[in-house]
Amino acid sequence: QRPASTSMARKKVAIEYIASDPTRKATARKRDMGIKKKAGELSVLCGVDTCYIMYREGGASPPEVYPSVPEAMRVIDRFRSMPELDQCKKKMDGEDYVRERIAKIQEQLRRAQRDNRQLETTLLLHDTLVGRRQGLAGVAIEQLVSLGWMAESYVKKVSDCIAYRNMQQQQHAGVQAEPPHYGATVADMEAPPHQQL
C-alpha cells in the first residue's frame, strides 16, 4: 500500500510588494520567464504580434525584451502608427483592470444574493406548508411578496399539470368510447363486385 501523499495545495500569493530582496528578485526572475513563455504561446496559437519589456528594479541593467529588440521595436512602431482612438480602444492600465475586476465581483455578489433570497423563500414556503412554522409573523415585507409570488407560481404549475392530465384522459376516453367504423360489412365483402353497388 502506497503511503498517502503529504503534499499540500499551493498557497495563494498575496499581490503586494515583497519586502525581502532575495525573494523579490527570485520572484521577478520566475515571473519574467513565465510572461515570456505566455507571450510566445499567444503569438504562435493566435497568430498575433506580441512583445514584452520589463525594466528591472533600480534600472541599472538593460531591460528584458521579448522576443528581441528589433522585433519589439517593430511591434511598438506598428502600435504608434495606429490612430489614437484605436490605440486607446482596448488599452488597460492598472486602474482599468481593478475597475473591471470590481465590476465582475459585484455582479457575482448580486447573483449570489439573488440565489440566496430564492433559497430562503423556498425554505420558508416549505416550512409553512409542512407545519414547521406557525404563521408568518415577523417576516419582512419583501420576503412576503416573494413568498406570495412563488406560491402563485407553484399553484399555476400544478393547475396547468392537472388541466393537461385531464385533457389527456378525456382524449383517451373519447377514442375508446367512439364506436368503430367499418367501410363494408362482411356480407358486402363476400358478395361479388357487381352486387356491392
Residues 101, 68 within the same domain: no
Query: What residue numbers bound the domain in which 77 lies?
Result: 21-91
Residues 110, 73 within the same domain: no
Whole-number pLDDT of residue 76: 92
Residue 7 lies in a domain: no
Residue 191 lies in a domain: no
Number of domains in the chain: 2
Q: Return all residues near 49 (Cβ < 8 A) that are at least 6 apart.
A: 43, 74, 75, 78
Cα–Cα distance list, 18 to 1, 33, 59 (Å): 42, 18, 18
Residue 82 lies in a domain: yes
Percentage of the chain exceeding pLDDT 70? 82
Q: Taking the model in full, what pTM does it have?
A: 0.44
Domain end among 34, 66, 91: 91
What's 45's domain CATH number? 3.40.1810.10
pLDDT in tens, 148-191: 888 888 889 889 999 999 888 888 876 554 444 444 444 443 44
Residue 59 lies in a domain: yes
pLDDT in tens, 9-50: 667 777 788 899 999 989 989 999 999 999 999 999 999 999
Residue 47 lies in a domain: yes
